Amino acid sequence: MKLCHVLANWKMHKTGAEALDFVRSLKEALSEMSTTRNQSVGLAVPFTMISSCHKEAQQSFSVGAQNMHDAQEGAFTGEISAAMLMDAHADFVILGHSERRHIFGESDEFIESKLKRALSSTSINIVFCVGETLEEKQAGQTKDVLERQLQAIQAVSAKDQYRLMIAYEPVWAVGTGKVASPEDISQAHQTITDILRSDAFTEDAIKILYGGSVTAKNVASIVALDKVSGVLVGGASLDSAGFIDLVKAAFTA
C-alpha cells in the first residue's frame, strides 16, 4: 500500500497553550480515523514546544524540530544541538528547509554537516528539504539543483537510509499559494528517486514528500501521484480543524 506521511511545519507560530490545544484536537481526531501502518502524521513545532507536545501527543503522532546545528556543543548563541533535541524527545528534525537556505543563508555544505551530525548523534528521523528557486526553474536548472543539494545524501549509510525522508519543496511554491503542477512534481520526484537509487538506496527506503502550498483541497490529487509518499504542510497546518480536514483528505485519497 502507498505511503502517506502528512507533516506539519508550524514555523514561528503559536504559543505553548495554543500548541497543546491543537495537539489535543488532532489526537482526538486521529483516534476516530481508521489509519493504516503506512499512514502517519507529524508536527514540526518550535523548539520550546517539542517536549510538551510530545508528552501530550502520547505517540498518536510524531513531534519534531524545524532545524538543528551541526556542532556537538559550544559557543553558538541561539542555536540548538542534536543532544538537546534528543533530550526534548523530538522524533524527527527538518534540515535544509528553503527558509533556512534562503533567509538565513545556509549553504549546501552546512546542511550536509547538519545531516552528518543528526545521523551520528541522534536516532531520530530526518526530513531533508530540497527544491529550486523560480529563477533556477525558469533557467531549466531544476535537475542540477536537486543533484547538487542531494550530494549530501551520499553520506547516508545503508542502515540509516530508513531514517531519511526527502521533501521536494520548490521555493516558488512555498507560502505563495502557487502549488506545483502534477507534471512538475512527478518530474522532480523521478529525478530524486534516480539520485537516491544511484546512491544505492533500497526501494523501501525511498520516501519523498512534496511541500509548497498544500491545502485540504489539493492534497488528495498530490498524494495520489506515483512516487509521492506524503506532504509537508506550512500555512495550512496552523488551524487544527483545517489541518484535520487535510489529513482526512490525504488518508482517503
**What residues act catalytically?**
97, 169
Q: Nearest residue to ligand PGA, using CB? A: 234
The pattern of x and - marking residues 95 through 134 that bind ligand PGA according to CB under 6 A reads ----------------------------------------
Contact 40, 1 (CB under 8 A): no
The pattern of x and - marking residues 177 through 216 that bind ligand PGA according to CB under 6 A reads ----------------------------------xxxx--
Judged by CB under 6 A, the number of residues near ligand PGA is 13
Contact 223, 8 (CB under 8 A): no
C-alpha 35 chain-centroid distance = 20
Q: CA angle at residue 195 from 191 to 198, to 5 degrees?
A: 140
235 touches ligand PGA by CB under 6 A: yes
- Residues 5-64 interacting with ligand PGA (rule: CB under 6 A): 9
Give me the least distance between CB of 8 and ligand PGA, in Å please.
Answer: 9
142 touches ligand PGA by CB under 6 A: no
- Residues 213-232 interacting with ligand PGA (rule: CB under 6 A): 213-214, 232
The CA-to-CA distance between both ends of the chain, in Å, stands at 12
Give me the least distance between CB of 159 and ligand PGA, in Å please.
Answer: 28
Give me the least distance between CB of 83 and ligand PGA, in Å please.
Answer: 25
Contact 85, 93 (CB under 8 A): yes
Q: Of 174, 244, 247, 249, which one interacts with ligand PGA (CB under 6 A)?
A: 174
**Backbone angle region of 175, left / alpha / beta, with phi > 0 → left and psi within -120 to 50 → alpha:** left
Give me the least distance between CB of 150 and ligand PGA, in Å please.
Answer: 18
The alpha-helical segments, DSSP class H, found in the chain are 16-32, 50-57, 82-87, 98-102, 108-121, 134-138, 142-149, 182-198, 219-223, 240-251
Q: Of 112, 132, 169, 184, which one interacts with ligand PGA (CB under 6 A)?
A: 169
Give me the least distance between CB of 100 and ligand PGA, in Å please.
Answer: 10
Q: Say how far apart CA 55 and CA 59 lie, in whole Å.
A: 8
Give me the least distance between CB of 243 and ligand PGA, in Å please.
Answer: 11
Give the three cell numbers for residue 84.
Answer: 538537546
Which DSSP symbol is given to 180?
P
Nearer to ligand PGA, 52 or 213 (CB): 213
Residue among 41, 9, 63, 94 at smallest CA distance from 250 = 41
User: H or E element: which one contains 167?
Assistant: strand 164-168
Only one of the segments 25-33, 73-81, 219-227, 233-241 lies at the binding site for ligand PGA (rule: CB under 6 A); that segment is: 233-241
Residues engaged in binding ligand PGA (CB under 6 A): 9, 169, 174-175, 211-214, 232-236
